[in-house]
Amino acid sequence: MANQSSSSSSSSSTYPILCASFNQDASCFVIGTRDGFKVFDTNTGRLCYERAIGAFIIVEMLFSSSLLAIVGAGEQPSLSPRRLCLFNTKTGMALRELNFLTSILAVRMNKKRLLVVLQDKTYVYDLNTVKILDSIDTVPNLKGLCAFSPSLDSCFMALPASTVKGSVLLYNVMELQSHCEIDAHRAPLAAIVLSSNGMYIATASEQGTIIRVHLVSDATKSYSFRRGTYPSNIFSLSFGPSMQLPDILVATSSSGSLHVFSMGFAINQRKSSSILGSIIPDSVADALDPTHHQVLQCAVTAGVKSNSVIRKVDKVVADTSTSEIVSCKATISIITYNGYFQEYSLSINQQNDPVWTLEHEFNLLTVISDNAISL
């Protein structure tokens, strides 16, 4: 499941892309620019739809449907950052508009719910009727951080619960009640993401050195991963698609590196044989064990904001009777706010040797639009 903490952006951004997000199954992605918004097919890179009507700071897509949630950058009166428009790409018309007293910082959707995040309040709507179901008072959420699971069975929303430490509030949007609060980090949150099945949550603080994964059901810590020693801004987090424990977690940061952390998909899951590994908890050992962490240096330009997803994970089994995995291949897509789309593959064998391959790269701003069609 893609992290969508990178989907909102300040209109004062110097980047040509003001916002970028993948849809719930990563089959498509959308970008907002100073000129309008565009919808792309992630598999082919094809430009599917575009509309040049002004600057947009939020564009969110509901799976592969014709429904977009869009918010203007405020550079013209008709595109106020306080107005949410539910837009139909088939008709090119607005289905519904919602106005708020303050700027909208994030929008999330699944097939049943619509979430609108403001600085001090988050609203929960029924997506089909656009009827308000609940409003949640929050701590000041200046970054508009919000994670949302597309799963209707474990349909959770995650929001910051503190401005001084990395606490996260988990709220069940189907039952309309708070689920729990997790103290994940000492420093305030910088990125949060829920797995597509709603079972796991990953968090990173403003320090950006440790990424933690908790089981949502009982708020227990499952994994701790060390991204690096020096602080870095975490731009995005994304779990791999899975019905159970996600195989991997990917992170992009201001260092320009792409980090992949193994969970369920590590080829050789084994305890550390070192003395250190025998006396410290598994979660801490995971953070120190390099076999669980693969890094591609200089994957993107350092300092440039980015958003990444794990589109798929393929496993090669040696013998179906034993189900022994001999290699794994992850497909990772990245949007950079300076205008590029990149797709990497990461293959890992039984010896945990990584092989990175840049499969595709193109400029999002110069894609020929003559073939663009309405979804």
Coil, strand or helix: which one is 47?
A: strand
**φ and ψ of 279, to 5 deg:** -120, 0
Confidence of residue 94 (pLDDT cuts 50, 70, 90): very high
CA dihedral 75→79→82→87, nearest 10 degrees, is -150
The whole-angstrom separation of Cα 87 and Cα 67 is 6
pLDDT of residue 13: 63
Percent of the chain with pLDDT over 90: 74
pLDDT of residue 294: 93
**φ and ψ of 255, to 5 deg:** -75, -15
pLDDT of residue 14: 85
105-109, 137-141, 223-227: least confidently modelled range? 223-227
- Judge whether residue 242 has pLDDT over 90: no
DSSP 338: T
The whole-angstrom separation of Cα 12 and Cα 45 is 28
pLDDT of residue 323: 65
Q: With a threshold of 0.95, does the pTM exceed it?
A: no
Per the structure block, which two tokens stand in for 160?
Answer: 């910051």
Burial class (CB in 10 A: 0-12, 13-18, 19+), 45: middle
Average pLDDT (242-259) is 90
Contacts of 235 (CB under 8 A, 6+ apart): 5, 6, 191, 252, 253, 254, 305, 306, 307
Coil, strand or helix: which one is 81?
A: coil
Q: Which helix (H) or strand (E) segment is 260 a member of?
A: strand 258-262
Average pLDDT (186-191) is 97
**φ and ψ of 111, to 5 deg:** -75, -10
Of 321 and 260, the structure prediction assigns the larger pLDDT to: 260
Mean pLDDT of the chain: 88
Confidence of residue 10 (pLDDT cuts 50, 70, 90): very low
pLDDT of residue 318: 67
Contact, 246 vs 264, CB < 8 A?
A: yes
Contact, 196 vs 210, CB < 8 A?
A: no
The whole-angstrom separation of Cα 90 and Cα 95 is 11
- Judge whether residue 85 has pLDDT over 50: yes
- Judge whether residue 184 has pLDDT over 70: yes
The whole-angstrom separation of Cα 45 and Cα 97 is 30
Length of the chain equals: 375
Closest CA to 360 of 66, 40, 64, 20: 40
Average pLDDT (284-307) is 78
Contact, 285 vs 262, CB < 8 A?
A: no
pLDDT of residue 350: 77
pLDDT of residue 245: 77
The whole-angstrom separation of Cα 227 and Cα 10 is 26
Confidence of residue 369 (pLDDT cuts 50, 70, 90): low
Q: Which residues pair with 147 in a beta bridge?
A: 158
Amino acid letter, 237:
L
